[in-house]
Structure 1
Amino acid sequence: MEENQRDAAAAGEEALVGNVNKLMVTPPGYTGVPRKGHLIFDACFESGNLGRVDYISEFEFDLFIRPDTCNPRFRVWFNFTLENVRETQRVIFNIVNFSKTKSLYRDGMSPVVKSTSRPKWQRLPAKNVYYYRCPDHRRNYVMSFAFCFDREDDVYQFAYCYPYTYSRLQHYLDSLERKNLDYVQRELLGLSVVRGLACMSAEGFYGLICLFISCVVGL
């Protein structure tokens, strides 16, 4: 029974084929002029992931993350920005379709946040983060976190943990190549749907000592 529920939930997530793009979320039926506090969600950037936003109230939103590429049963990563906030606006965000039964969020881990005026990632206070199973969402696992916006002109960004993008990885591999180290070699291992997979090998006195396969992110 539980297996069938998980499969049904996974099938429902297949419809989340793209990230939200500068999506302003307003109360149902609202036709007036956009105002401060009508949050604008965006995940159309490298490593971004947010497929849908449901308005629950002025203080609460349900968020749906897109599944892994070619595997709709796995839904973990999220990364999105928010703007058009109101100063002192307090909001609860519910990530309602996690696929993991166990999570470090239960043991004190928390999402990370930064903003345009504070560009260094910081973890949210663990006391503001809750991970639980919710009967209102096909008994999926839900991670809820509360946040209070304090600067109206800032763009805020939230992520599952510290993002490590494909571009950042390529910059690192490029820096290794520029050193012209005799014992380091970079090769193209293969191709994914849209990107290359790099293979870095390092050889020392005892032959091949380590192998790094670059991960494809931001699809």
Structure 2
Amino acid sequence: MNCHPCSAEEYDGLEFESRFESGNLAKAVMITQTYYELHLRSDLYTSRSKQWFYFRVRRTRKNVIYRFSIVNLVKSDSLYNDGMRPLMYSTISAKQINEGWRRCGTNIAYYRNDDDTPSEEEDENSSYTLTFNIEFKHDNDTVYFAHSYPYTYSDLQDYLMTIQKDPVKSKFCKLRLLCRSLAGNNVYYLTVTAPVADEEAMRKKKAIVVSARVHPSETPASWMMKGLMDFITGDTLAAKRLRHRFIFKLIPMLNPDGVIVGNTRNSLTGKDLNRQYRTVIRETYPSIWYTKAMVKRLIDEYKVVLYCDMHAHSRKHNIFVYGCENKRSPEKKLTEQVFPLMLHKNVADKFSFESCKFKVQRSKEGTGRIVVWMLGITNSYTIEASFGGSSLGSRKGTHFHTADYEHMGKAFCETLLDYGDDTPNKVKRMTRHMKQIKRIRKREKREKKALKLKKMAEQGCIIAEKLEVKRTGKSVS
């Protein structure tokens, strides 16, 4: 991508490119030899949804400080304002020292562009800039930059083919086609369970449904899914027990079209697929329609104990879940919070129970989590992994790596094993967990009430001060 109005022979600046899988740079403009303005392509058939970035740079010079500004982002806030750094991958460093993706950039800032709207109020048409300095280690290197660790459709296909060709794993893993996307790409699902002698024994098993990548840019979801698949297809005793007890239905990439073209949020319809679970239009949203049909069929044939859709979050640290509170069923009250609490105890340095929310909001009624919950599955979750990192324990202030996301997938499985424990001690443990949840929620209510009273008091002081100024004409010191 020649980003300067001169011939290719005369141009001696950096060379930008993103015409590869999941890339989405639309334009690069050289302001000076070391300063470049970058414009992202919006999601196809939309004018918005620009947050994911993935592009390549060539013709680098070492020991030179460059500045990149991505000038047309759309989110009003970002973890880049709270310590998060972009990612880069040097092909020379990869060959010489086996270095993979690493965090990069100094003098990082994320801010609203001044020329969008004259008022201070946020406008839906506002755009934002991410800007950072970068210094390359090598001359004439080929370097990739990304918002998060890439995981492409090709990566998934390679992974699934490896499982299918494995003579051991293929005995308890069955790869099937769920449907084809609008662009004709295969949407796969994986069934993982230990084979049994007869149909009656199979029907006694409980079912687990896990999906990921409905939003193309949320690559941490794929790394969590990979960790889950690695564990559940592994040779450990825990994995064998899980396969013996459960039937896993895994849909690792719901939106392959969006992933391939480098979209941030939408499919090729220009719509957010995670708002279409109430749809009856099979032809427009095939992966969503067939996923919902699969869940309904599983409910008819087995007891579905948990559904989870994997996502990533751009404004919060840690990993947490959104669930659905069971207000109308007294016997089920707070039960949806037990699994997340157990997950927190297993990975307390990454997973935050206090960040978990269980409100059923009208604006989210088309999401997989709420629609599946309305089908009767109490434990219906969206798990959100931060693009940034952790603010908990020994990991406080650190970025997440792919290994952390994969470990979360493993911990998810280990927690399932604990949660599905059928021993007599389970009732005692459940009672203990419920009591702890009640204590946590009571404390949160007290803290919210105290904060509300504090704000009211502050507002009262401000009003009193204004009245005094109006009465006396003098400011109150």
Tell me the TM-score normalised to structure 2 length: 0.38
- Corresponding residue for residue 28 of structure 2: 53
- Corresponding residue for residue 109 of structure 2: 130
- Corresponding residue for residue 332 of structure 2: none
- Corresponding residue for residue 211 of structure 1: 250
Report 1:25-174 matches (<5 A).
Answer: 25-26=3-4, 28=5, 30=6, 33-36=9-12, 38-119=13-94, 120-125=100-105, 127-136=106-115, 139-174=126-161
**Which amino acid letter does the alignment assign opposite residue 186 of structure 1?**
L
Between the aligned partners of 1:136 and 1:128, the Cα distance in structure 2 is 22
- 3-state DSSP of counterpart to 2:31: strand
Check whether the contact 2:89–2:143 (CA below 8 A) recurs between aligned residues: yes
Report 1:2-41 matches (<5 A).
Answer: 23-26=1-4, 28=5, 30=6, 33-36=9-12, 38-41=13-16
Q: Which has the higher helix share?
A: 2
RMSD between aligned residues = 2.2
Q: Where in structure 2 are there 5+ consecutive unaligned residues?
A: 95-99, 118-125, 194-242, 262-477
Which one scores higher on RCO, CA 8 angstroms, separation ≥ 6? 1
Between the aligned partners of 2:40 and 2:245, the Cα distance in structure 1 is 45
Check whether the contact 1:96–1:137 (CA below 8 A) recurs between aligned residues: no
**Which amino acid letter does the alignment assign opposite residue 124 of structure 1?**
C
Between the aligned partners of 2:252 and 2:61, the Cα distance in structure 1 is 43
Q: Where in structure 1 are there 5+ consecutive unaligned residues?
A: 1-22
Task: Give CA deviations for 1:168-188 in whole Å, capped at 9, x if unaligned.
Answer: 111111111123433322111
**Which amino acid letter does the alignment assign opposite residue 145 of structure 2?**
F
- 3-state DSSP of counterpart to 1:169: helix
> 1:115 deviation in Å?
1.5
1:198 aligns with 2:207: no
CA 1:137–1:81 in 2, change beyond 3 Å: closer, same or farther? farther
Between the aligned partners of 1:122 and 1:104, the Cα distance in structure 2 is 17
**Which amino acid letter does the alignment assign opposite residue 165 of structure 1?**
T
Check whether the contact 2:71–2:128 (CA below 8 A) recurs between aligned residues: yes
Between the aligned partners of 1:55 and 1:152, the Cα distance in structure 2 is 19
CA 1:201–1:60 in 2, change beyond 3 Å: closer, same or farther? same
> 1:141 deviation in Å?
1.5
Check whether the contact 2:3–2:27 (CA below 8 A) recurs between aligned residues: no
Q: How many residues align?
A: 193
